[in-house]
C-alpha cells in the first residue's frame, strides 16, 4: 500500500519503487513517468453489452458492478463516477486484488467493472474480457519509477535506465 511505501521511504529501506505518481515526491527523491494508464469498463464475453457499440455512462447503471477494495484507485474512481452521476448502483464486492479472481467472477456472471487498463490488459488482449466502448474521463496517475536523487546505487540506476528505455513510448 502507499502507506507501507511511505514508511519504507522514510526508513530509507528502498532504493527504487515502481508505483503510481505520488501527489508529493519526497525530498531527495524524483519520479519519472513510464506508462500512462487509464480506467476502462470491462465485462465478461457473455455480457449482453458486448454486442452493443458505443455506450454512454448512463447506459451502464442498470447493471451490477464488480468492485474491489475501497482503498483501490479503481474503487475510488468508481465511487466518484457514481456520485457525479447521482446514482447508487448495484455492486458486488470482492476483497481481492487478483486479476484471476476478477476474471472468474466477470466470466461467470453478467457484471461490469471499472479497472485500470494496466491491470486487465492481458485479459483484454487474449479476449478473456471485453472492454466496453464508453467514454469515461477520469484522471489517473501515471505508473513510473520513484528513485533516490542522492546516493542512488548502481543497480538501482541501471534498473531505472532500463525501465525508462523499455517504456519510452508507453501508452495503453
pLDDT digits (tens, 9 = 90+) for 71-97: 788 999 999 999 999 999 999 998 877
Q: Tell me how crowded residue 91 is: count the other CB atoms within 10 A of its CB.
A: 17
Q: Which three cell numbers stand for residue 157?
A: 540506476
What is the DSSP secondary-structure string of 30-87?
A: EEEEEE---EEEEEETT-GGGG--SB-GGGGTTSEEEE--TTSHHHHHHHHHHHHHT-
Predicted local distance difference test score (pLDDT) of residue 167: 83
pLDDT tens per residue across span 1-16: 667 777 777 777 888 9
What is the separation, in whole angstroms, between the first and last Cα of the chain?
A: 23
Predicted local distance difference test score (pLDDT) of residue 60: 96
Predicted local distance difference test score (pLDDT) of residue 72: 83
pLDDT tens per residue across span 40-81: 999 999 999 999 989 999 999 999 999 987 778 899 999 999
Q: How far apart are the C-alpha atoms of 108 and 142, rounded to whole Å?
A: 31
pLDDT tens per residue across span 108-155: 999 999 999 998 999 999 999 999 999 888 989 889 999 998 888 899
pTM: 0.83
Amino acid at each position: 500500500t502507499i502507506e507501507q511505501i511511505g514508511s519504507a521511504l522514510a526508513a530509507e529501506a528502498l532504493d527504487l519503487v515502481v508505483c503510481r505518481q505520488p501527489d508529493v515526491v519526497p525530498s531527495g527523491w524524483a519520479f519519472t513517468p513510464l506508462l500512462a494508464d487509464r480506467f476502462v469498463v470491462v465485462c465478461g464475453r457473455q455480457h449482453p453489452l458486448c454486442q452493443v457499440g458505443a455506450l454512454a455512462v448512463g447506459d451502464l447503471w442498470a447493471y451490477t458492478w464488480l468492485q474491489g477494495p475501497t482503498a483501490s484507485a479503481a474503487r475510488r474512481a468508481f465511487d466518484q463516477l457514481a456520485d457525479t452521476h447521482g446514482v447508487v448502483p448495484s455492486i458486488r464486492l470482492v476483497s481481492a486484488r487478483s486479476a484471476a479472481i476478477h476474471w472468474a467472477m466477470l466470466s461467470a456472471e453478467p457484471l461490469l467493472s471499472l479497472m485500470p487498463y494496466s491491470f486487465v490488459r492481458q485479459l483484454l488482449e487474449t479476449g478473456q474480457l471485453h472492454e466496453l466502448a464508453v467514454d469515461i474521463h477520469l484522471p489517473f496517475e501515471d505508473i513510473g519509477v520513484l528513485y533516490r536523487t542522492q546516493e542512488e546505487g548502481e543497480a538501482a540506476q541501471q534498473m531505472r535506465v532500463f525501465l525508462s528505455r523499455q517504456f519510452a513510448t508507453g501508452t495503453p
